[in-house]
Structure 1
Amino acid sequence: MIYLIRHATPLIDYKPCNARSAKLRLDEYNQTSSIDEAEIAAFLGQPNVSQMLLASEANVMSSPVNRAYATACRLFDVACIQQDARLREFDLRLSNIPVLKMGLRHWFALHRILWLLGISLGAASRKAEHQRALGVAAELYKIGGEAGKITIIVSHGMFLRTVRKALQRRGMQAHRVYRSGCFTVESLTP
């Protein structure tokens, strides 16, 4: 069995800003360990949902990006968590669009759409990032079919979505276990 966990919501300023401020907030977003722990606490407060995941002898792997690692540390014993750079989010860069002022999430969405259209602004290409996720999915597929083995991945939205879709194409069944804010837990079974 495989669990895919998206990090809890980072606690940063999402209010409208110009492009220069958005770039600074993206840096903060990528560096912060401050997450909405209430999202995780609500999950932990539902033992019928969380116990199965937390009581297992699982292989826990986390993105080294602080928001994901902080989420993993809140859920699991730090000594059990393996950081893996391949689990980081797809690269995102923001450009300087003068005059425009909008919320940080809108800046992220605009530039993610540009990236999906092939305008990378210096970020890793869509193809390269997709291949990285497919490589992780292939490894997980080999592990996921072993009886009694549980692997838990704590990572980021687009990366996990790509991994989940690749595993589903290989016949694994996905099920959303829990969601609150950004924090999402999905299970995949053969």
Structure 2
Amino acid sequence: MTMESDVESIASRTLTEFGGIDILVNNAAIVNVHGDWTEITVEEWDRVQAVNLRSCFLTLRSCHSALSTSTAGRIINISSITALTGQARILHYASSKGGVMAFTRSLARELGPEGITVNSVVPGAIKTEAEVEIFGDLQDAPTILEQQAIKRRGIPEDVAAAVAFLASDEASFITGQSIVVDGGWVMH
């Protein structure tokens, strides 16, 4: 999702196969290096920014004309709780996800007059296969659960429900918002 020609090809195939684009969900993300900021190379920094933030811009460029002709254009960007809390040892990732939130707000102001809504979903500690692979099974990790008002780990379906809501007609007057899905970890 970091090469403009690849993203344009995906958008073109989608338009051909489905006849339009009503909803764009930007969910590409990587983190890779977990360590002190001094361990992050410039190349790794750039790679994380490209996948996590630049990809949102590239998909926008490739899908905008189809979204603007839709009767219900929706853009939903996936950020991260790390953009709100800060997170040691993944500076590049947290920074990129903060960028996704700023991208969302700024784009909402630009695309609102076209009737396109732009929002972000901000997952907290969600138990995914990738998370288990990196951190092990943290299902009952007290440090995570004690941070949350709801004492269970989030699951992908929790995030999917927020995305589905923002993609629905019921969310047609919601734009520029970050919907936090974290069991009450961060409250604002």
Q: Shared fold (TM-score greater than 0.5)?
A: no
Q: Which has the higher helix share?
A: 2
Structure number with higher relative contact order (C-alpha < 8 Å, ≥ 6 residues apart): 1
Q: Which has the higher strand share?
A: 1
TM-score (norm 1): 0.35
TM-score (norm 2): 0.35
